[in-house]
């Protein structure tokens, strides 16, 4: 189990190159992109429809006024007995008097000079006599002074004369257009504001909505780093209902994996243990016999024993921190007691220094195996004194660690030979019993927990072994 968990990216990591495209490919990116895209489209369509509706409304209002004007104009028109066209009362509106005021009328008859509102001044609207049309028509037409006009036109036969007059009423679009433009500007700035607000809200929503996923990611890397045995979010009841099955499944998977590892370990253990009794019998049977066959068998039995020990010890390493942790002080005391019993008659003065409540974040059997081997080794070499010092380190570390220092007053190990102690099967002694696997397994266990083992010269004169292990 390594310390550096791989990143399962839910959110973008902005420091890295290609982060934009990676962000867009991420779940949050997809959600955000599609949500912003859709709300933009909806807002634009809404804006266009609104703008169109407003324009239609304004135009129809203008058209209505033009129609009324046209009707009024027709109503006050007459043909004099002399056959001359005239208005029997003036259109009492200043707007038709002021030149280029924006409000115009014109009545024309084919072949005659048209009657025009004073406001038209020197300009004439295009009467378009080519085709007669007695229905009311609206159109856009150029006006005086570069104006664009909305005009209503109508061909009328006045009752007094059987002659066709072409009536035109027009108004400048500038004002209307300005109103429409103002409205559009207002509308689209409002929509843009809405889009920005909605986008911000979406970012918040996505980040809030995906928070449980990020939590799962953190939990998973905790599991990988051995800080936790399963996804903790499941315990705290914070998981949303729709993610709970996923979390439960992952936890189930982790559990099953643990069980498989456990079972495999048990099988290896059982196999190794089952081999040991027959091995004992073989060894005892050939022990002391000096013929060639017996020697060969003894040597092979010894080899088998080394293999069995090695694989059994490897299989035993559980690795990974979990649940409650292990109270270190009492455990060390028990181990020391066991080592003393096994060391037999050797009188050892041991000194254990450790605060109450200091805990190791990991499996008891790993701790036992690691420290048991080291203490046994120290006891084997010590003259009379053995010292164990345990402190908890916290400052400047990614996680709290235990520093365990085991020292003896034995002969020690020269610098250049220390590293060799960790090699499998290496024994610097040939007299003292042991398979030489102790320190190799010690390093394996420490590595498994992201800890370390270092050798140095002890204050007592012998070898000092300093172990770093994760603390709870």
Partner 1 sequence: MRILIVEDDATLAGQIADNLKDAGYTYDIAPDGEEGHFLGDTEPYDAVILDLGLPIMDGASILKKWRADGREMPVLILTARDSWTDKVEGLDAGADDYLAKPFVVEELLARLRALIRRSAGQTSPVLEVGPVRLDTRNSRVSVDGAPVKLTAQEFKLLSYLMHHEGKVISRTELTEHIYDQDFDKDSNTIEVFVNRIRKKLGVPVIQTVRGLGYRLEWGGEAA
Which residues here bind partner 1, judged by CB under 8 A? Answer: 272-274, 276-277, 279-281, 283-285, 287, 301, 305, 309, 312-313, 316, 331, 334-335, 337-338, 341-342, 344-345, 364-365, 368-369, 371-373, 433
- Residue 364 C-beta: closest distance to partner 1, Å: 6
Q: In a 3-state reduction of DSSP, which class is residue 79? A: strand
Torsion of CA 259, 263, 266, 270, to 10 degrees: 160
CA-nearest of 276, 278, 279, 295 to 287 is: 295
Q: How far apart are CA 202 and CA 193, in angstroms?
A: 14
- Residue 214 C-beta: closest distance to partner 1, Å: 39
The length of the chain in residues reads: 472
Nearer to partner 1, 442 or 463 (CB): 442
Nearer to partner 1, 372 or 451 (CB): 372
Neighbours of 30 (CB within 10 A): 13
Q: CA-CA distances (angstroms) from residue 126 to 109, 123, 137, 206, 382?
A: 12, 10, 14, 61, 122
Q: What is the CA radius of gyration of the chain?
A: 49
- Residue 288 C-beta: closest distance to partner 1, Å: 9
Nearer to partner 1, 287 or 353 (CB): 287
Q: CA-CA distances (angstroms) from residue 23 to 26, 211, 217, 221?
A: 5, 16, 17, 21
Residue 365 burial by Cβ neighbours in a 10 Å radius (0-12, 13-18, 19+): middle
Nearer to partner 1, 371 or 388 (CB): 371
- Residue 323 C-beta: closest distance to partner 1, Å: 17
Neighbours of 377 (CB within 10 A): 22
Neighbours of 20 (CB within 10 A): 11
- Residue 448 C-beta: closest distance to partner 1, Å: 15
**Dihedral sign (CA 96, 99, 100, 104):** positive
Nearer to partner 1, 453 or 460 (CB): 453
- Residue 273 C-beta: closest distance to partner 1, Å: 4
- Residue 245 C-beta: closest distance to partner 1, Å: 37
Nearer to partner 1, 115 or 368 (CB): 368
Nearer to partner 1, 376 or 408 (CB): 376
């Amino acid at each position: 189990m390594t310390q550096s968990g791989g990143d399962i990216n839910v959110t973008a990591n902005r420091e890295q190159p290609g982060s934009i495209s990676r962000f867009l490919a991420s779940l949050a990116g997809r959600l955000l992109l599609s949500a912003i895209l859709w709300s933009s489209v909806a807002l634009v369509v809404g804006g266009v429809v609104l703008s169109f509706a407003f324009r239609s409304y304004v135009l129809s209002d203008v058209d209505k006024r033009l129609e009324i004007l046209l009707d009024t104009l027709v109503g006050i028109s007459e043909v004099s007995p002399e056959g001359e066209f005239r208005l029997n009362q003036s259109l009492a509106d200043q707007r038709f008097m002021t030149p280029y005021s924006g409000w115009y009328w014109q009545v024309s008859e084919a072949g005659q000079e048209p009657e025009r509102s004073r406001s038209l001044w020197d300009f004439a609207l295009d009467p378009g006599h080519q085709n007669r049309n007695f229905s009311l028509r609206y159109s856009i037409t150029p006006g005086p002074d570069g104006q664009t006009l909305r005009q209503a036109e109508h061909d009328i036969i006045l009752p007094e004369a059987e002659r066709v007059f072409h009536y035109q009423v027009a108004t400048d679009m500038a004002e209307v257009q300005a109103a429409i433009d103002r409205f559009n500007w207002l509308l689209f700035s409002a929509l843009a504001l809405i889009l920005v607000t909605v986008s911000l809200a979406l970012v918040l929503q996505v980040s809030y909505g995906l928070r449980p996923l990020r939590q799962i990611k953190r939990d998973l890397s905790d599991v990988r780093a051995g800080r936790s045995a399963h996804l903790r979010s499941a315990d705290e009841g914070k998981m949303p209902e729709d993610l709970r099955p996923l979390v439960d499944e992952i936890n189930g998977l982790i559990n099953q994996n643990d069980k498989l590892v456990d079972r495999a370990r048990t099988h290896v253990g059982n196999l190794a243990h089952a081999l040991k009794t027959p091995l004992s019998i073989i060894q005892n049977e050939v022990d002391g016999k000096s013929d060639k066959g017996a020697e060969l068998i003894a040597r092979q039995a010894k080899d088998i024993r080394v293999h069995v020990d090695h694989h059994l010890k490897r299989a035993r390493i559980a690795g990974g921190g979990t649940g409650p942790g292990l109270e270190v002080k009492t455990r060390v005391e028990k181990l020391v007691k066991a080592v003393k019993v096994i060391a037999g008659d050797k009188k050892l003065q041991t000194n254990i220094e450790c605060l109450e409540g200091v805990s190791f974040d990991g499996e008891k059997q790993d701790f036992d195996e690691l420290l048991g081997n080291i203490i046994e080794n120290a006891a084997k070499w010590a003259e009379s004194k053995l010292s164990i010092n345990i402190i908890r380190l916290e400052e400047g570390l990614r996680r709290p660690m235990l520093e365990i220092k085991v020292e003896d007053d034995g002969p020690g190990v020269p610098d250049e030979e220390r590293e060799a102690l960790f090699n499998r099967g290496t024994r610097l002694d040939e007299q003292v019993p042991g398979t030489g696997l102790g320190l190799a397994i010690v390093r394996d266990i420490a590595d498994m927990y992201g800890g370390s083992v270092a050798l140095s010269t002890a204050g007592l004169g012998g070898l000092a072994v300093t172990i770093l292990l994760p603390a709870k």
